[in-house]
Amino acid sequence: MLECFYPDEYLDSAYRIPYEELRKKGYRGILFDVDNTLVKHGAPADRRSVALFERLHELGYATCIVSNNKEKRVAPFASDVDSLYVHKAGKPAAKGYRKAMSLMGTDRTDTFFVGDQLFTDVWGAKRAGLHTVLVKPIDPHEEIQIVLKRRLEAAVLFFYLRSRKKTGADAGKIAKNS
């Protein structure tokens, strides 16, 4: 029942994902959430995020920011990191993810998603048929509605990690979608 919220991978940070390895496995496009995935909530692109996107583009990745935020938040960030974007994506609905893949010219077989929330980011990406990478939030200080969701997420993550341990799966191992 909870498996629909389980990420395919669970890593410390979007900045520690082995993007070169994923490229070798056939991934060509990456969808990213912004707030608390790449920068603190509401923060502009910083040197680290700009450098990450430069590296990803040098590797040949297409990138797209997929956010439920308004365009005035998403567009400047996307511009600063030279990425496509979808604002008001309606996550966890799959429509915004599909639109992003269409913009990039990729599909669910060669695209993966990186985000920090199970009930919007991961669930929506899974509904779109994508490989999902959950990362730990950058900033522990969040709005009250997010704090409440994080408590529910903690319960789901407990069962996710327990299931990975039982099956001998490595929660941090990157795999290619079939």
pTM: 0.85
Q: What is the predicted pLDDT for the residue at 26?
A: 96
pLDDT (tens digit per residue) in 95-124: 999 999 999 999 999 999 999 998 899 999
Q: What is the mean pLDDT of residues 58-70?
A: 97
38/52 Cα distance (integer angstroms): 9
What percentage of the chain reaches a pLDDT higher than 90? 72
Confidence of residue 2 (pLDDT cuts 50, 70, 90): confident
Confidence of residue 148 (pLDDT cuts 50, 70, 90): low
Is residue 177 a contact partner of residue 108, using CB atoms and an 8 Å limit?
yes
Q: What is the predicted pLDDT for the residue at 161?
A: 74
Place of tokens 């919007």: 120
88/63 Cα distance (integer angstroms): 17
Phi-psi region of 82 (alpha: psi -120 to 50; beta: other; left: phi over 0): left
Q: What is the token pair recorded at 54?
A: 């430069």
115/159 Cα distance (integer angstroms): 19
Mean pLDDT for the chain?
A: 89
Domains in the chain and their CATH numbers? 2-167 (3.40.50.1000)
